[in-house]
Chains A and B, each alone.
Chain A
Amino acid sequence: MRESTFVLIQYLSGLFVLVFGALHFASLTFLGVKNLNEALEYQNVLTRYKQIFWLSILGILMIAVTSHTFVGFRSILIEIKQGKKWELFVTLFAIIAGGIIILSGFRTILLAFLR
């Protein structure tokens, strides 16, 4: 994969985090949640997962945050140490670890939706 592809993922995911992160916080207001304690109440959290629109926002936000984190982490690690093997290891680590987190996040979203 070209390096610019990683950079494009990094830039786009950053943009998505901004937009969908804002929507995520806005969702609390739209759903009538008044304070932080109320936002974290089990029923309130579950309510958000029951609506496809908010659920999609949370799903996209989760993918964006994870991609942004691991692509950025990969860049930092490549700058700290150099070498072909290291680059391959770091890239595979970023893809696999990111993939596991995304799958695990989807599992949580799905479980909450079906509950």
Chain B
Amino acid sequence: MNLKFRILRYDPEEKRRYNQEYAVPFRKNMTILDALLYIKENLDHSLSFRYACQAGLCGSCGMIINGKENLACQTKIEEVGKIIELKPLHNFPVIKDLVVDFEAMFAKHSSIRPYIWREQEKFDSEYLQTPEELERFIMVASCINCGLCYSSCPVTGTDKLYLGPHALAQCYRYIMDTRDKDKKKRLDIIDSPHGIWRCHFAGECSEVCPKGVDPAYSIQQLKGFALLRRNELKRISVAPLKKEKRKFE
């Protein structure tokens, strides 16, 4: 049995977009990425797409598969049918075929300072954290930077300066981290004209995330902090607490 692949291609030299069809023989447990590799090896060497780990960990092979954002390596052919339409991710400039430019998304990610802020580093021992404290942000920490949420967000499509679900969810991750100290400064970055308040809560970002991260929830939590619960941030900024007050397993 042959599968029909319709791929939206982009030729950067001629600046031309066109659909190209390929017939790929079906194999049990075949993924979209397997099929793309088959096309690349046997049918068309010029087809471009990005991939690395083939295990849903690197976040490189994100694309629109039959109208929905997904990772090619994690999507089995059986799940999507015999006719498969592939397109590059939305809201990103296309470099070639299915390869998009992530620069804007990573620039927004950098703007929220995605690392732990502390005035003074502690070099003599590690920063301790209880399992309960880790639990607060571990869901968001699973992010693999695949850009599916950014592609699915309707606001990112219209507001080019909007920070986007990826950066905002990561901001929530650091705000909820007890080791991070300057939460108010972080909140000031996202409490801006193109920050959290532009989110219309469409919820698509959470729907498409392959790692179960919930950016929509994270953004609503951030809205709560920015609007009414700024003082609550002090309670989160507890690390390092005195050892006698915290129970470590």
Chain A residues with a Cβ under 8 A of chain B: 2-4, 6-8, 11, 75, 78-80, 82, 87
B150-180 residues with Cβ-Cβ distance < 8 A to A are 155, 158-161
Pick the residue among A4, A79, A80 that contacts B191 (CB under 8 A).
Answer: A4
B107 to chain A, nearest CB (A): 15
Our pick among A8, A11, A87 for the contact of B193 (Cβ within 8 Å) is: A87
For A75, what are the chain B residues with a Cβ–Cβ distance below 8 Å? 197
- What's the nearest-Cβ distance from chain A to residue B194, in Å? 7
User: How many A-B pairs fall under 8 Å by CB?
Assistant: 34
Pairs A-B, 9 closest by C-beta atoms: A4-B226, A82-B161, A4-B191, A4-B227, A3-B197, A79-B159, A3-B191, A2-B191, A87-B193
Closest Cβ of chain A to B158, distance in Å, is 6
- Range of interface residues on chain B? 10 to 19
Q: Give Cα distance in the complex from A78 to B155, angstroms.
A: 12
Give residues in B with beta carbon < 8 Å to A: 155, 158-161, 188, 191-195, 197-198, 223, 226-227
Q: Shortest Cβ distance from A39 into chain B, in angstroms? A: 37
Point out the residue from A4, A6, A80, A82 that lies within 8 Å of B194, measured CB to CB: A82
Chain B residues within 8 Å of A79, by CB: 155, 158-159, 198
Q: For the complex, give the distance between the alpha carbons of A6 and B192 in Å.
A: 10
With contacts A82-B159, A82-B160, A82-B161 taken as known, whether A7 is within 8 angstroms of B193 at the C-beta atoms is no
B192's partner among A3, A8, A11, A80 (CB-CB below 8 A) is A3
**Which chain A residues lie closer than 8 Å to B192 at the CB level?**
3
Contact A78 B193 (CB under 8 A): yes
Whether B197 and A4, one on each chain, are in contact in the complex, defined by CB atoms closer than 8 angstroms, is: yes
Residues of B within 8 A of A2 (CB): 188, 191, 226
B223 contact set on A, CB distance < 8 A: 7
Residue numbers in A under 8 Å from B194 (CB-CB): 78, 82
